[in-house]
Amino acid sequence: MSAPENYGFDLDGFISRERFEKMREFLRDKETPCLLLDLKAVEKNYDELVRTMPYAKIHYAIKANPHEKLLKMLVDKGCNFDFASVPELDMIMRLGATPDRLSYGHTIKKSEHIAYAYDKGIRLFATDSEDDLKRIAKNAPGSKVFFRLFMECSGADWSLSRKFGAHPDTIFQLIQMSKDLDVVPWGLSFHVGSQQRDIGQWGSAIASCRYLFDSAKELGITLKMINLGGGFPAPYTQPTAPLEMYTKEVTRFLVEDFPDGMPEIITEPGRSLVGNCGILVSQVVLKSKKDTYNPHSWLYIDAGKFGGLYETIDESIKYPIYSEKTGPTGEYIIAGPTCDSMDILYENTKYVLPENLEEGDRLYFLSTGAYVNSCSLESFNGFKPPKVYIYDED
Ligand SMILES: Cc1ncc(COP(=O)(O)O)c(C=O)c1O
């Protein structure tokens, strides 16, 4: 057989055996499915980003993981935040973040939500359309706006293209339009796609920013900020370059394109800050074979697409899965517990796991800190989302 994309994973490269054992002990009597969030791991990621991009203001993308304890820890560490909705805004302000540390980074928003944010003191808004720009001018007069560029997102495991951003000529028109509106054209933003493997994508995006900075100058407007978005990776089954390589290259692109001094730089990490801080624990519900000659077994587990493993859509994000059992292995198709056939996690990608798995055995999905608890349905089909626990030990 040619080397297939088969994953059943050891802990190596994801978490130390010692730390994993402590967490496993903590989780031993917890009902599944459940999710453990390791706050120390988030802190470590945050500190590394500050160390490797000391010039950047970090605006954590709340959507990646809005757990209150995690947010509070980041508030206390001095992090800034990007919010996308009124509930996110209310929560982060309740936890102590002042409006000057917040940006309204969503480009699709109702007038009343803009007005609400303005009333709370928010003065930094993203935009990518004429209507939205006019709404900001009307409902948040005098605010700073940054214009989001359209990105192709090739090279990303989780694309954010099509729905967001506008092409440079449209952005130029919006910048021009803003001269006659009660807003301050402040900067540009982009998102190269989440879990982006190709570092060069930041290079072309920053070059587009340079071009638009120059074009804006011709209109008499000096743009002052670039928001680099998210896109830095978390560790999943397919290895990526280390964070430090990303930040080093991005810094080089910025220095080369802005030799007379960088503008203000914002970065909006989500996945790279919290991805590796989660362990989702699931149990085997049922193992079955659909026909005698098929080498693959189906493994139905008690966590699925509607209960947090939503990014398995199109098998985009391939989580490392650790089994406590050992022995001969087999190839599995893995599916969730609900009555919907959409709820198949991995079918093209076969996971190699012990053959002797049976009802009740635990499977540990590593790197489930991002877009898991934030993407769980409350109770589809009566199945509850994973209960979340916090691990805050050294
Ligand atoms: C505007 C914006 N910024 C930042 C992020 C975080 O991106 P990532 O998780 O790839 O770091 C997202 C993710 O959807 C986003 O939409």
Query: Mind listing the domains of the chain with CATH numbers?
Result: 17-36+276-391 (2.40.37.10), 40-274 (3.20.20.10)
Distances (CA, A) of 116 to 88, 90, 119, 123, 136: 12, 10, 5, 11, 11
* E strand map for 179-232: 183-189, 194-196, 225-227
In the reported structure, the alpha carbon of residue 311 is separated from the centroid of ligand 1 by a whole-number distance in angstroms of: 14
Q: Which of 74, 151, 160, 192 to mutate for ligand 1's pocket (most ligand atoms within 8 Å of CB)?
A: 160
Per-residue pLDDT tens for 209-239?
A: 999 999 999 999 999 999 999 999 999 998 8
In the reported structure, the alpha carbon of residue 157 is separated from the centroid of ligand 1 by a whole-number distance in angstroms of: 13
Q: What is the mean pLDDT of residues 8-37?
A: 92
Task: Using DSSP bridges, classify how beta strands 80-83 and 56-61 pair: parallel, antiparallel or unpaired.
Answer: parallel
Nearest of 236, 233, 216 to residue 225 by alpha carbon: 216
Beta bridge partners of 344: 335
Category of 370 on φ-ψ map: left (φ > 0), alpha (ψ -120 to 50) or beta: beta
**Half-sphere exposure of residue 154: CA atoms within 13 angstroms, side-chain side:** 3
Residues near ligand 1 (Cβ within 6 A): 61, 63-64, 82, 105, 160, 191, 194, 229-232, 268-272, 370
Do 351 and 359 touch, CB atoms closer than 8 A? no
Quick one: pLDDT band at residue 4, thresholds 50, 70, 90?
very low
**Ligand 1 atom closest to residue 370's alpha carbon, by position in its atom list:** 9
Per-residue pLDDT tens for 164-204?
A: 999 999 999 999 999 999 999 999 999 999 999 999 999 99
Active site residues: 339
Determine the pLDDT at residue 311: 96
**Ligand 1 atom closest to residue 195's alpha carbon, by position in its atom list:** 10
Specify the length of the chain in residues: 394
| C-alpha dihedral sign at 322, 327, 333, 335 | negative
At 188, phi and psi to the nearest 5?
-130, 155
Instruction: Reduce the DSSP state of residue 53 to 3 states and report it.
Output: coil
Q: Which two structure tokens, joined as six digits, stand for 121?
A: 């003191």
**Ligand 1 atom closest to residue 82's alpha carbon, by position in its atom list:** 3
Q: What is the mean pLDDT of residues 371-383?
A: 90
Determine the pLDDT at residue 3: 35
Residue 253, H or E segment: helix 243-257
Q: Which of 191, 236, 243, 266 to mutate for ligand 1's pocket (most ligand atoms within 8 Å of CB)?
A: 191
